A and B are shown apart, each in its own frame.
Chain A
């Protein structure tokens, strides 16, 4: 590589080839060298067939696109083509690279691509779409609103693959939109265990915040009790009575705390993750428990955190920081693991110091003796920083635990004769702090320290000793002046902090014992007056004015004694980790003890319960919701993937799902398995009966797999995935599906054949509301392919209501359509009365805006409301257009390039002649045939209903059943979908 670089770059251009790619670029980029001159030559290779070259081109492109925006645009079309590839992995990788190119011009293209990918069939592509969202957001924050819509849609996704990525996108784009989580909360909790590790971390952190806003503090009663007891402890006698009254009032007000079942669900579903191998997951669960769990349950995290202490030192470092914070609030939790925090000689210093911190926090009356013994060995360590920290730790133990104060003090005094100066210095500083608490009893220690001043050289220690002698000069009246005398001799050679303390000592002695020290003080002050340091000169001047009475000296000198010899409060030795718990544990901000960019505050618990019903999800099938025994564990998986029909009793759904949830919770694994068996038995039984007769009953027995017809294979796969834990379960469910499918086909055929429906037999009926779900009301619909006269831009949908109940249904009408932007709906006139056992057919119009998005609305009767949705196949979004051969060719010529999608296919066995092909194509899409001279080619034309874009289809056939399908349409999405549908129809 180095040799090549000496060659001038333009020669490189000419010889740019595979080898160069393989060896030069990674080297250049890895070393941070600028290789942007090669950009045009590289981009040429973007469509290269060699996968490795292709990947490296991607790397290169993403790296330099920002600098060479114009040239980067050359490559965009390649990715756009990739987005339409039938292979999901290619679609995903195209989206991944496209969204990584940081060029603002392509923002609209990216937006479109993300939107499309978000409704892709493949969960992997949807995952990639979720990954692309933060990229686009950082490139152009103005897209936020549109992106939130996509996030909302993806949050509803029920696959584990997508969950982690979309929550990550949520956290980056709109972490404050907590309302988007409500409906997905339970699903996320249930999926959590199967999500990949990194996604788990993100989801758990987000759910912690969510739970803090939605549930009540589980420790509310305890914290109140604590508060009141603390108050009582500190309160003076007068206040006590009042306090008691107030306390009684709060006690009376307080209701017994009942944990929200959703809160419990979160705690229960995260608990097993404490056993994850991934330290980040364990930490995430630990912080969740620390912030959300009732006090009695928090203890379980200790063991897992202690386990992390055996991991890499960086992991230990982070874990210890968090443990240190936890130990301040919940000491009891870690007490059993005290010995795990003992220090090893091989630990790095920073780990040792953190462990000391934890040990100090854990110290109490019962374990202090073992801890102190341990500390004693630490003092002998060779690591001086660690020794200093150990001495401070001893000091802190001594202040916190009164019983051992004397022992500690004696130990520290012994250290004063240590040979190591650092040890002595640190001890002096700590002793100074301790003595301040009870100076009266320890004048001998002060004397001992006064003697030490000749030997100790560390300035901080000397200063501390001087301060002590000055402060307690009354306890050592004889020694103090002598020390001052000695210090005056060496004053000029001392460090600044020592000099300041000498001045202080002099001043204090002057005030208490002016007879002996007057001259000495004058001398010291004179020396200080000519010192090099202005601080010292300043201090000297100030003190002289204050203590030496002169004519001019003001009123202050009267108070000099009060100023200098006031009783000073003892210092509080406390942990640096105190009050760090207002940061979410495990976060970067907590580690740094400062708010990092993008940190989301952990909200305080709400005062009153927020509405728990916001998390209720409309259950697919109201019958199933009630029959929990059947749905049991699959509830979370049921009906996954379909954005279609959801029918439920509006008024009753809340309480029903509440009920069902509780039931589910109480059941455990074994019961599930039993149920599985039970279901199997029933299935076997039903299989034996004749399907057509028994279909209704079977629908009841079958698990909750109601869905729209087209997505069966996908559904089976997802179902299968949901059953990962039980192999047998999945097999069984496939069986169910197969049966179910058969029933459905039969029913449709039966109805059509029975002549109950007006339109011709080739028109397919779709189910809108099953008669079980609809409590006797069955609704089916079809696309009649007639122009909708009130509004030509709408697709006509023919709806047939069948009343299977014994009573009549009244006031059938539509309410609350929830439509994608731009979509419109023309309701049918209300059906006033439908007698029992009769069918009524009406026509309504829907403007789908040329998209295959479902139209959702409520179907209401006089008693009930059902959520339903109509999703049109792409072929129904168009109406036939009559063109001549010439017109067709002309129009086709206009729709070339990006607007043309072409696929090769093998015709199915039954597609023997032209006639069958025409039949199949027209059955799939509402198109008309265009006359054509050649027999080997079929042409069709149509236009989309809403915007009137032309749709042209050409199918030339070749020998041996091969054919080519070409669709020309301005709307690429329609084109792609249509190709897919027609391909399927023809290759069957």
Chain B
């Protein structure tokens, strides 16, 4: 199983190492550096690298490479999934998973890694258990700790590990019993030059924030579960109940967690909320080109489109862009060749437009393809899948501390 873990930043500095079995020299990472150099982009480093005596399985997250060393056969996904779980735990504990936060909290990081794996096999990966073992740092506590010399390690021994529902700790108490569910849906679509949809699918997740006392048993039902093409669940959800009744029944973890993710693939359901008129052309003579992009609303169902960002990956020969935006700001990075136009809220009366000229490297041949555009946007309070969200109902089967005070349903859609 997992032998060692090295954390390496984007510049190639190895800033943390942890061994679960005997120590492996950090020189093993040279093979990784070699692959890293060859790959140019950090995304392109092969996740599995073979070296004469070891296998390196790595992930790239938040500008950090998590490189694990393996000696024997193990499912690669097992390791990859675990490394992501580590990164998520850091994020959970420190707010973000970056080199500086890891360095600042090296003691906690070490304690966490020690608890998460035993002899290379995952031991406690549930955030609820970990938080009982090692308290996450807060500003107040770290101040108190420095003064009094007390520690972050929980004084009580964790009981969560002993139960069959390891994701929930015992004895949770709240004065206000609340549960929030966020339904977030994303459209993933590929459009061709003329704007017709080549491929589109809806992916949704239901994020929950449950603050209920005792051992609540919740159910969540959909009016139209047939729309859900494919689902995956947090381990707390009872599979059998879903299979037989299409009801999500679960004892929730305490706090924030992702309850489920689902997928809706039916093509006809997917309505793309905006349209884009674009015209990017490069002149045959003279090293310059022209750019003209307009974004407009289409099927937004009366809601406002927010957080609109258009990203264009320009060809290598484009040196600079001299543009004029009627709304928002634009920025062209000549190193990465990425043009980002941050529009913000879409005003249907006055459509935002970005227009201007591009200057190319002189003498270079005209790029033959038009760059592709990525468009990101957000719409609050709207379910793209339409009929799904508005019918979610939450029921509390058993709440020892009386009925649910507030079973709020908060939909942040899209």
Chain A contacts to B: CB under 8 angstroms: 18-19, 22-23, 26-27, 29-32, 50-53, 55-56, 58-59, 63, 66, 87-90, 96, 100, 102, 122-124, 128, 131-132, 134-135, 138, 160-161, 165, 168, 193-194, 196-198, 201, 205, 272-273, 275-280, 282-284, 303-304, 306-307, 310, 312-315, 317-319, 339-340, 342, 344-346, 348-350, 374, 377, 380-382, 418-420, 586-589, 591-592, 594, 596-600, 668-670, 721, 724-725, 727
Tell me which of A128, A346, A588 contacts B76 (CB under 8 A): A588
Contacts A22-B107, A597-B73 given; indicate if A345 touches B372 (C-beta within 8 A).
yes
Q: A340-B201, A380-B368 are in contact. Are A138 and B78 (CB under 8 A)?
A: no
**Are A586 and B369 also in contact (CB < 8 A) when A59-B114, A725-B240 are?**
no
Q: Which residues of chain A come closer than 8 Å to B111, judged between CB atoms?
A: 52, 55-56, 59
Interface residues, chain B, CB within 8 Å of chain A? 1, 14-19, 21-23, 26, 41, 43-44, 46-48, 50, 55, 58-61, 70-78, 80-82, 84, 106-107, 109-111, 114, 118-119, 121-123, 125, 149, 151-155, 157-158, 161-166, 188, 190, 192, 198-199, 201, 203, 217, 229-235, 238-244, 258, 261, 263, 313, 315-316, 365, 368-369, 371-372, 374, 397-398
Which residues of chain B are within 8 angstroms of A102 by Cβ–Cβ distance? Answer: 22
| Contact residue among A278, A377, A725 (Cβ-Cβ distance under 8 Å from B238) | A725
Measured in the bound complex, the distance between the Cα atoms of B114 and A18 in whole Å is 19
A640 CB to closest chain B CB (Å) equals 12
Report which of B15, B73, B162 forms a contact with A589, defined as CB distance below 8 A.
B73
Is B238 a contact partner of A597 (Cβ separation < 8 A)? no
**Is there contact, CB below 8 Å, between B217 and A348?**
no
Smallest beta-carbon distance A316→chain B, Å: 9
Q: Is the CB of A280 within 8 A of B107?
A: no
Q: How far is the CA of A161 from the CA of B123 in the complex (A)?
A: 11
Report whether A314 and B59 are in contact in the complex, using a CB–CB cutoff of 8 Å.
yes
Q: Which of B155, B203, B369 touches A381 (beta carbons < 8 Å)?
A: B369
Contact pick for B164, options A205, A669, A721, CB 8 Å: A721
Cβ-defined contact, B48 with A588, below 8 A: yes
Residue in A closest to B153 when the chains form the complex, CB atoms: A52
Residues of B within 8 A of A381 (CB): 369
Known: A205-B75, A280-B81. Contact between A344 and B190, CB under 8 A? Answer: yes
A22 touches B77 (CB 8 A): no
Give me 14 A-to-B residue pairs in the complex whose CB atoms sit less than 8 angstroms apart, sorted by A's number. A32-B17, A59-B114, A161-B164, A198-B122, A277-B233, A304-B232, A314-B47, A345-B313, A350-B46, A374-B198, A382-B313, A586-B75, A592-B50, A598-B71
Shortest distance between the CB of A173 and any CB in chain B (Å): 12
Would A348 and B41 count as touching, CB distance under 8 A? yes
Contact status A587-B75, CB under 8 Å: yes
| A381 CA to B55 CA, complexed, in Å | 33
Closest residue on chain A to residue B369 by CB atoms: A380
B-chain residues with CB within 8 Å of residue A588 when the two chains form the complex:
48, 55, 70, 73-76
| Chain A nearest Cβ from B276, distance in angstroms | 15
Q: Which of B75, B110, B155 contacts A284 (CB 8 A)?
A: B75
CA distance A198 to B14 in the complex (A): 28
**Given known contacts A303-B230, A315-B80, A318-B77, A382 and B17 CB-to-CB distance under 8 angstroms:** no
Given contacts A30-B16, A313-B60, 12 further A-B contacts (CB under 8 A): A30-B110, A31-B17, A88-B162, A100-B119, A277-B233, A280-B75, A282-B232, A284-B75, A314-B80, A381-B369, A592-B48, A596-B55
Question: Chain B contacts of A599 at CB under 8 A?
Answer: 73
Whether A318 and B47, one on each chain, are in contact in the complex, defined by CB atoms closer than 8 angstroms, is yes
Does the CB pair A51–B110 fall under 8 Å?
no
Question: Within 8 Å CB of B121, what residues of A?
Answer: 131, 134, 165, 168, 198
Do B81 and A724 touch (CB < 8 A)?
Answer: no
B232 adjacent to A277 (CB under 8 Å) = yes
Closest to B77 in A: A280
Residue in A90, A124, A135, A197 whose CB lies within 8 Å of B161: A124
Cβ A586 vs Cβ B77 within 8 A: yes
CB distance from A602 to the nearest CB of B (A): 12
Cβ of B369 to closest chain A Cβ, rounded Å: 4
* Cα–Cα distance between A340 and B107 once the two chains are bound (Å): 43
For B76, what are the chain A residues with a Cβ–Cβ distance below 8 Å? 318, 586-588, 591
A55 to B84, CA, bound (A): 25
| Nearest opposing residue in chain A for B186, CB measure | A310
Q: Which residues of B contact A131 (CB under 8 A)?
A: 118-119, 121, 123
In the bound complex, do residue A59 and residue B22 qualify as a contact, i.e. CB atoms below 8 Å apart? no
Task: Indicate which residue in A89, A342, A419 contacts B365 across the interface (CB closer than 8 Å).
Answer: A419
Least CB separation from A586: chain B residue = B75
User: 4 nearest interchain CB pairs?
Assistant: A598-B72, A52-B151, A272-B239, A380-B369
**A344 — which chain B residues lie within 8 A by C-beta?**
190
**How far apart are the CA atoms of A88 and B161 in the complex, in Å?**
11
Q: Which of A58, A276, A592 contacts B235 (CB 8 A)?
A: A276
Q: Which one of B16, B73, B192, B397 has the greatest number of beta carbons of chain A within 10 Å?
A: B73
In the complex, what distance in Å separates the CA atom of A667 from the CA atom of B254? 35
* Chain A residues near B15 (CB-CB < 8 A): 30-31
Q: Chain B's nearest CB lies how many Å from the CB of A343? A: 9
Instruction: Name the residue in A26, A306, A587 with the highest tally of chain B Cβ atoms < 10 Å from its Cβ.
Output: A26
CB-CB under 8 A from A315, the residues of chain B are 77, 80-81, 84
* Residues on the A chain within 8 Å of B166, using CB: 196
Which chain A residue shows the least CB distance to B203? A310
A26 touches B107 (CB 8 A): yes
Give bound CA distance, A27 to B111, whole Å: 12
- B182 to A: closest C-beta gap in Å: 17
* Shortest CB distance B377–A (Å): 16
Establish whether residues A96 and B118, one from each chain, have CB atoms under 8 Å apart when the complex forms.
yes
Q: Tell me whether A596 and B239 are in contact (CB under 8 A).
A: no
A404 to B61, CA, bound (A): 42
Q: Which residues of the other chain, A, contact B70 by a CB distance below 8 angstroms? A: 588
Instruction: Give chain A nearest CB distance to B8 CB in angstroms.
Output: 13
Would you call A348 and B43 a contact (CB within 8 A)? yes
Residues of B within 8 A of A23 (CB): 107
- Chain B hits for A194, CB < 8 A: 164
Given the known interface contacts A275-B231, A280-B81, the answer about A596 and B123 at a Cβ–Cβ threshold of 8 Å is no
B263 surroundings in chain A (CB, below 8 A): 307, 310
CB distance from A371 to the nearest CB of B (A): 12
Distance in Å: Cβ of B257 to nearest Cβ of chain A: 10
Q: How far is the CB of A724 from chain B (nearest CB, A)?
A: 6
B298 → chain A closest CB, angstroms: 21
Contact with A275, one of B41, B43, B58, B239 (Cβ below 8 angstroms): B239
For B398, the chain A residues whose CB sits under 8 A away are 727
Given contacts A312-B59, A598-B73, is CB(A277)–CB(B149) below 8 Å? no
Partner of A197, one of B84, B110, B201, B235: B235
CB pair A382 B369 closer than 8 Å: yes
The answer to whether A59 and B110 have CB atoms under 8 Å apart is: yes
Question: Closest residue of chain B to A350, judged by CB?
Answer: B44
User: Which of A278, A350, A588, A594 neighbours the largest number of chain B CB atoms within 10 Å of its CB?
Assistant: A588
- A276-B232, A339-B199 given; A22·B59 CB < 8 A: no
Closest to B164 in A: A721
Name the distance in Å between A72's Cβ and chain B's nearest Cβ. 14
Q: In angstroms, how far is the closest chain A Cβ from the Cβ of B155?
A: 6
- Residue of B whose beta carbon sits closest to that of A87: B157
In the bound complex, do residue A349 and residue B44 qualify as a contact, i.e. CB atoms below 8 Å apart?
Answer: yes
A272 to B244, CA, bound (A): 11
A724:B165 contact, CB within 8 angstroms: yes
Query: What is the minimal beta-carbon distance from B65 to any residue of chain A, in angstroms?
Result: 11
Q: Quick check: B244 and A668 within 8 Å, CB to CB?
A: yes
Name which residue of chain B comes closest to A197, CB basis: B235
Choose from A272, A345, A727 the contact partner of B243 (Cβ within 8 Å).
A272
For residue A280, which residues in chain B have a CB less than 8 angstroms away from its CB? Answer: 75, 77-78, 80-82
Tell me which residues across on chain A come within 8 A of B118, comparing CB atoms. Answer: 96, 100, 128, 131
A87 to B58 Cα, complex, angstroms: 38
Q: Cβ of A342 and Cβ of B198 under 8 Å apart?
A: yes
Chain A residues within 8 Å of B151, by CB: 22, 50-53
Q: How far is the CA of A29 from the CA of B113 in the complex (A)?
A: 13
Identify B155's interface contact among A51, A124, A596, CB under 8 A. Answer: A51
A526 to B238, CA, bound (A): 81
